[in-house]
Amino acid sequence: MSAIVDYSFYTDTYKGQEPDVDASSFPALEAHAERIIGAMTRWRVTDETFHDLPHFTQTLVKLAICSQVDAIAVNGFESVSAGNNVGFTVGKVRVDGGSKTSGALSASVSPAAMLYLEQTGLLNPAVPVLEGYPC
């Protein structure tokens, strides 16, 4: 499994500035963030399917993963995985409180990540039917 976002994208494009996110801690944080974003998109985004997405959608997904990395770094993985979305700061912007989404992961997802994902169409709740599976 390869990472969708690398540290250079996080620092150079996203402009991540969280002091707890350095080159050595980034891979673990990115893996956790990628799984959360994957679950929110109903696994429409995986390292296998990512490159089939349009370029603009790829960029938005990467930005969502970076936002989720920051949320995990600020709040701690235990807090995020338990659904305790207490807020986070990105640059000069502070976001406090819960999320406007519903479901088991809603409190675990960074509001900034949701803003990026909402623009992609990947949050469509429709569940695809397996090809050849009798309905």
Helical (H) or strand (E) element with 117: helix 111-118
pTM here is 0.76
Classify 95 as helix, strand or coil: strand
CB atoms within 10 A of CB 47: 12
Q: What is the pLDDT along the chain (135 residues), one digit of tens a residue?
A: 689 999 999 999 999 988 889 999 999 999 999 999 999 999 999 888 999 999 999 999 999 999 999 999 988 866 555 555 455 566 656 555 554 444 555 567 899 999 999 999 999 887 667 666 665
- CB contact at 8 A, 87 and 97: yes
